[in-house]
Amino acid sequence: MSELINKEIGEKDCCNIIEIKGLNKWYGDFHALKNIDLNVKEGEIIVICGPSGSGKSTLIRCVNFLEKFQEGSITVDGTELTDDVKKIRQIRSEVSMVFQHFNLFPHLSIINNLTLAPIWVHNETRQEAREKALKLLDRVGIKDQAEKYPNQLSGGQQQRVAIARALCTSPKIMLFDEPTSALDPEMISEVLDVMIELAKEGITMVCVTHEMGFAKKVADRVIFMDVGQVIEQNTPDKFFDNPESERLQTFLDQILTQ
């Protein structure tokens, strides 16, 4: 993990770690994703925003195959996603996800939530996994809660545990699916702080979020989606100061004047 995390931000124009080509997805008759083309470079921080129902969550859930898609291709770190279970598991072992509702395992203590995947998917010893987990818990500021159960923690703490759990497998890519949307306002910043720290360390991140402050601060690219397609993408400066499409202007007006 350390070589990934310590990587310099300057290396970002190397190679695509995620390549999405001509992606189409339907729920029944509903066309949820329309011909999406998107490349993510290694170490890049991407923020995806857009109104609800625009397909942004569906898009990132396709990357680790939590959602099946009908047309197009997704290649993650050189491996193309197919129905092949082995390939799916291989990609999932390199891609971690943080969910809106945390999805911690309530029957396991915090430390066991963290060590589960390292032990069972990455064949680490209990000892190794535990040491690494404690380090990560320390990093997200909840080392002293290691033996507690998820339901004993606040929402903000649970989401920080979820981030630590996602990091525990030394992933190449982190997907965030609205990580702060289910949190009380006073807890949002403690989670965002952890994410900002992470972004500085150079891991590839794709975040679906409405936290525009976060986007401005760390994103390399901001993507606006609506009705299942990418409407506009740009660097944060241009995205927020000079939105080109009318839809994005309206959207920004709405969320920034809240």
Partner 1 sequence: MAIYPLKETRTPPKSQTKAIAWLKDNLFSSISNAALTFVALYVIYLLLPPILNWTIFDANFDLTADNQSCGREGACWSFINANLKMFIYGFYPEEELWRVNTMFGLIAVLVIFGSLIKKSQYRAHYIIGSFLIYPVVAFVLLYGGLGLEIVETDKWGGLTLTVVVAAIGIIASFPLGILFALGRQSEMRVVKFISVIYIEFVRGVPLITILFMASVVLPLFFSAGMDFDKLLRALIGITLFQTAYIAEVIRGGLQAIPKGQYEAADAAGLSFMQKTILIILPQALKISIPNIVGSFIALFKDTTLLLIIGLFDMLAIVGAASSNSSWLGRETEGYVFVAMVIWVILYLMSRYSKRLEVRFSTEHR
Contacts with partner 1 by CB under 8 A lie at: 64, 66, 89, 92-93, 95-97, 99, 101, 103-107, 116-117, 120-121, 149-152, 165, 169
* Alpha-carbon span 246 to 253, nearest angstrom: 11
Task: Give kind and range of the element (H or E) at residue 206.
Answer: strand 204-208
> Which is it for strands 95-98 and 173-177: parallel, antiparallel or unpaired?
parallel
Q: Which is nearer to partner 1, 8 or 147 (CB)?
A: 147
Name the burial class of residue 246, with classes exposed (0-12), middle (13-18) and buried (19+) by CB atoms within 10 angstroms of its CB: exposed
Q: Which is nearer to partner 1, 4 or 227 (CB)?
A: 4
The distance of closest approach from Cβ of residue 129 to partner 1 in the complex, given in angstroms and rounded to an integer, is 13
Residue 208: strand pairing partners: 48, 177
* Alpha-carbon span 203 to 180, nearest angstrom: 19
Q: Which is nearer to partner 1, 23 or 104 (CB)?
A: 104
The distance of closest approach from Cβ of residue 71 to partner 1 in the complex, given in angstroms and rounded to an integer, is 22
Q: Which is nearer to partner 1, 122 or 238 (CB)?
A: 122
The distance of closest approach from Cβ of residue 18 to partner 1 in the complex, given in angstroms and rounded to an integer, is 15
Q: Which is nearer to partner 1, 153 or 230 (CB)?
A: 153
Q: Do 178 and 159 contact (CB within 8 A), yes or no?
A: no
Q: Which is nearer to partner 1, 92 or 221 (CB)?
A: 92
> Which is it for strands 16-27 and 71-76: parallel, antiparallel or unpaired?
antiparallel
The distance of closest approach from Cβ of residue 93 to partner 1 in the complex, given in angstroms and rounded to an integer, is 4
> Which is it for strands 45-49 and 71-76: parallel, antiparallel or unpaired?
unpaired
* Alpha-carbon span 66 to 99, nearest angstrom: 12
Q: Which two tokens stand for residue 101?
A: 């509702």
Q: Which is nearer to partner 1, 6 or 151 (CB)?
A: 151
The distance of closest approach from Cβ of residue 239 to partner 1 in the complex, given in angstroms and rounded to an integer, is 28
For residue 176, give the nearest of 96, 83, 247 by alpha carbon.
96
Please list, in sequence order, all residues whose beta carbon lies within 8 angstroms of the beta carbon of residue 172, skipping any fewer than 6 positions away. 4, 17, 42, 77, 94, 95, 203, 204
The distance of closest approach from Cβ of residue 39 to partner 1 in the complex, given in angstroms and rounded to an integer, is 22
The distance of closest approach from Cβ of residue 116 to partner 1 in the complex, given in angstroms and rounded to an integer, is 7
